[in-house]
Copies of this chain bind each other. A is one copy, B any other.
Amino acid sequence: MSTSRPATPPMFISAPDMLAHWQGHRRLTRRVIDLFPEDKIFSFSLGGMRTFGELTNEMLMMAAPMAHGLATLEWHAYTPRTIATKADLLATWDESTRVIDEAWGRIPPERFQETLASFGQYTGTGHWQVTYVVDNEIHHRGQGYVYLRALGIAPPAFWER
């Protein structure tokens, strides 16, 4: 993008394809949320870990605020959401989907290669910021799969998006 740089290295994935990749993962995570029984999502866990409801609150705290922040460089306070019902988790999930789609198109293309501090404290390139959020979701969703299996519920296939 900048003429002062040396030749751009080869592209691995474009910004539009990364958005599609992220939203594909988010559709899978939504299915996992929806598979949890209402009385288990905020009560069941293994190994002293957080419940899947708590983990979903963390995902919601990171995802749309990250897309908004990369588009605007305005960072909402990084404070825990405290959604306490499955229906509200799902509704907020869908609202976040729309925020991410809308904000993504407003992220300046060069921002993914620039270094910035998200939420005023996490310093890295724009692509690092996004992959951190996506990878964190995959990581915790994998933990949700174990919770579901321990509850006798079959999770969706990992490749379903």
Residue ranges of A at the interface with B (Cβ–Cβ < 8 Å):
1, 8-18, 21, 25, 46-49, 109-110, 112-113, 125, 127-128, 130-132, 135-136, 138-143, 145-151, 158-159
Q: How far is the CA of A149 from the CA of B109 in the complex (A)?
A: 40
A-B contact pairs, 14 of them (CB 8 A): A10-B112, A11-B14, A12-B130, A13-B112, A21-B128, A47-B146, A47-B150, A49-B146, A49-B149, A132-B159, A138-B139, A139-B158, A141-B142, A143-B145
For A140, list chain B residues within 8 Å (CB): 142
Verify A12–B49 contact, CB threshold 8 A.
Answer: no
A135 touches B11 (CB 8 A): no
A101 to B124 Cα, complex, angstroms? 23
Tell me how many chains of this kind the complex includes. Answer: 2
Closest 9 CB pairs of A and B: A47-B149, A142-B142, A10-B109, A12-B18, A47-B150, A9-B14, A139-B142, A13-B127, A11-B11
